Chains A and B, each alone.
Chain A
Amino acid sequence: DAGITQSPRYKITETGRQVTLMCHQTWSHSYMFWYRQDLGHGLRLIYYSAAADITDKGEVPDGYVVSRSKTENFPLTLESATRSQTSVYFCASSDQVYNEQFFGPGTRLTVL
């Protein structure tokens, strides 16, 4: 199906474990973004990517790693999950950095 998808939709993990959240888009958009959404903080940018093999930090990058070997995929890895990383994670894509960002359905992550 065309669009932007995220997997898994729900994930429960334990402190210290590595977790990878997947994001896939079918539009061949150049730009992809990862946000986390928390009560009281709204949407905050974690990392973004302007093209394959080009990534940069956002507002809250600590504890996260990204890669982009293919234009359509932008996985987000929590190398050693902490309780403070319990959140809803949204992936988004855009053809130009100033243009509309299309958001995925989100991944609800709980770290116990």
Chain B
Amino acid sequence: QKEVEQDPGPLSVPEGAIVSLNCTYSNSAFQYFMWYRQYSRKGPELLMYTYSSGNKEDGRFTAQVDKSSKYISLFIRDSQPSDSATYLCGGSNYKLTFGKGTLLTVNP
């Protein structure tokens, strides 16, 4: 079993929709959780960074971590076509382990 599981999608939504992206993980030692966004043919860029359990909000983006259920979520409100990208979740205790990524398309 991979340490971080993520549904690869693809996920297609209309502009303005609320998007929910989810991952599960198996390594109880993970303390740091991240979401990266990767546009086509580009390197990943950090979108959200959280430590331990809880919520973190940044504009239209909210990251949630539930360590009791080993669940990582990213919510995007009022999604825009510019949000179309691959979203990678990751967990870290020392080395960062990524999920496979979810391809999101937001249609105008």
Residues of A within 8 A of B (CB): 33, 40-45, 48, 58-59, 90, 92, 97-98, 100-106
Q: Which residues of A contact B42 (CB under 8 A)?
A: 105-106
Count of B residues near A, CB < 8 Å?
A: 22
Given contacts A42-B99, A100-B49, 4 further A-B contacts (CB under 8 A): A40-B100, A92-B43, A103-B44, A106-B41
Residues of B within 8 A of A (CB): 6, 8, 31-32, 34, 41-46, 49, 88, 92, 94-101
- Asked if B46 contacts A42 (CB within 8 A), the reply is no
- Asked if B46 contacts A101 (CB within 8 A), the reply is yes
Q: List 13 A-B contacts (CB under 8 A).
A: A33-B96, A40-B8, A40-B100, A42-B99, A43-B44, A43-B88, A90-B44, A92-B43, A97-B92, A98-B32, A100-B46, A101-B46, A103-B43
Complex formed: what's the CA distance from A62 to B94 in Å?
21
Total A-B pairs, Cβ < 8 A: 46
- Asked if B88 contacts A98 (CB within 8 A), the reply is no
Closest 4 CB pairs of A and B: A103-B43, A42-B100, A43-B98, A100-B46
Q: Nearest chain A CB to B58's CB is how many angstroms away?
A: 13
The winner among B88, B99, B100 for most chain A CB atoms within 10 A is B100
Contacts A43-B88, A90-B43, A101-B46 known; A58 to B100 CB distance under 8 Å? Answer: no
Q: Nearest chain A CB to B21's CB is how many angstroms away?
A: 14
User: Smallest CB-CB separation from B94: which chain A residue?
Assistant: A97
- Asked if B92 contacts A98 (CB within 8 A), the reply is yes
Complex formed: what's the CA distance from A41 to B99 in Å?
8
Set B44, B88, B95: member contacting A58, Cβ < 8 A: B95
